[in-house]
Amino acid sequence: MITLVSSSPRRKKLMESVFGEIEIVHPKVNELVIDSEPPREMVKRLAIAKAHVVKSADTIVAADTTVEIDGKILGKPRDVEEAREMLKTLSGRWHTVHTGVCIIRGKKEKVFVESTRVKFYDLDEETINMYIQTGSPMDKAGAYGIQEDMGMILVERIDGDFFTVVGLPISKVWWEIKNMAAKS
């Protein structure tokens, strides 16, 4: 059985849609940003830390996602005002979503980062306020989820894998687990 180390309902849904029944472990990992740490290194470090929370399982999958704009990391907003500021910052601009993944199967460990560029429409106050009222921005890096509520209307275009933006590049996860199993 596959163990997903994540509190994200979106990751759980993606994993179940591909792998069927999975075990969920909610990680207790300090997700603080280290000063001057590049975003790609941060999501890789956190995915590894989460994966190592589980001591034994057939296959362990853990991930972490962040949003980067102008070299700045946008994690989950602390409050509504921070969510509003993040959405204003992203409005009309390109940014990059990085998702780090760590897969452990037996003694093998595979770690990778997928990055996808995203461009927002120019957001007006009404749209930002309506989206914030859904409550969705509060548990997502960059204060938005491309796949649900009004989050899907914020995005003008993407360059890369849609599921990386959701929080788990599920097709790459499938192929990496398949490759690891073949080499067992």
In terms of pLDDT, which residue wins out, 54 or 32?
54
Least confident range of 29-33, 109-113, 153-157: 29-33
Q: How confident is the model at residue 126 (pLDDT cuts 50, 70, 90)?
A: very high
What dotted CATH number matches 2-182? Answer: 3.90.950.10
Residue 155 has which token pair? Answer: 């995005």
Q: How confident is the model at residue 33 (pLDDT cuts 50, 70, 90)?
A: confident
Overall average pLDDT of the 114-129 stretch: 97
Tell me if residue 154 falls in helix, strand or coil: coil
Distance from C-alpha of 16 to C-alpha of 13, rounded to nearest angstrom: 5
Residue 149 has pLDDT above 80, yes or no: no
Q: Which residues are catalytic?
A: 64
**Mean pLDDT computed over every residue of the chain:** 94
pTM of this structure: 0.94
**β-strands 94-105, 155-159 pairing:** unpaired
Residue 16 has which token pair? Answer: 């179940």
Q: Provide the phi-psi class of 14: left if phi over 0, else alpha when psi is between -120 and 50, else beta.
A: alpha
Distance from C-alpha of 102 to C-alpha of 120, rounded to nearest angstrom: 29
Q: Helix 80-90 vs helix 125-133: angle between axes, to the nearest 10 degrees?
A: 140
Domain residue limits, the chain: 2-182
The per-residue pLDDT for 35 is 82
Least confident range of 22-31, 89-98, 167-176: 22-31
**CB 103, CB 57: distance < 8 Å:** no
The per-residue pLDDT for 90 is 98
Q: Helix 170-182 vs helix 9-19: angle between axes, to the nearest 10 degrees?
A: 50
Q: Nearest-CA neighbor of 65 among 131, 126, 121, 145?
A: 145
